[in-house]
Structure 1
Amino acid sequence: IVNIRRDIGKDFAINRHTRVCSLHFTEDCYPKHQGIRRRLVKDAIPTVFHWCKGTSTQHSRRKIKKQISSVASENKENKAATGLQQFSVEEHSYSRQYTDGAMYTIYPTTLRRYLESSSSGDDSLEDYEPSVSPDKASVLQTNLNLMTLRYEEKFTLLRFCNSDSDIKYYTGFRSYISLSCFFQFLQPECNFLYYVGTENTSSGTPYDLLKKRGPSRSLSPMEELFITLVRLRKGLQERLIGDLYSISEGHVSKIVNTWIIFLADRFRSLPIWPKAEQVRKTMPACFREHYSTTRAIVDCTELFIEQPSASDCQRETFSSYKHHNTAKGLIAISPVGQLTFISPL
Structure 2
Amino acid sequence: MSVAASNKQKYNVRGSFRFQPTVFGSKEHCCVPLCSSSGRYNSRLSFHRFPKETSLRLCWLQKIRREGFTVTPHTKVCSRHFLENEVITTEKGRRILAAGSVPSLFEWNKYSRKTRAGVWERRCRPSNPEPDSADPIEDNEPPVMVPMVVDHDYGASRTVCVDREQYHSMLREIEQLKEQLRSCSLQKPFGLKRFSTSPEDIRFYTRFPSYEHLKAFWNLIEAATAKMVRVTRAKKTDVMSTTTETPFTRPTKLLPIDELFLFLSYLSTGCTQRELGHRFNIHRATVSRIIVTWANFLYCLLGSICVWMSPAAVSSSLPQDFDGRYSDTQVILDCTELRCQTPSSQNGPL
Q: Shorter-chain-normalised TM-score: which range?
A: 0.3 to 0.5
Which has a greater percent of helix? 1
TM-score by length of structure 1 reads 0.42
Higher Cα radius of gyration: 2
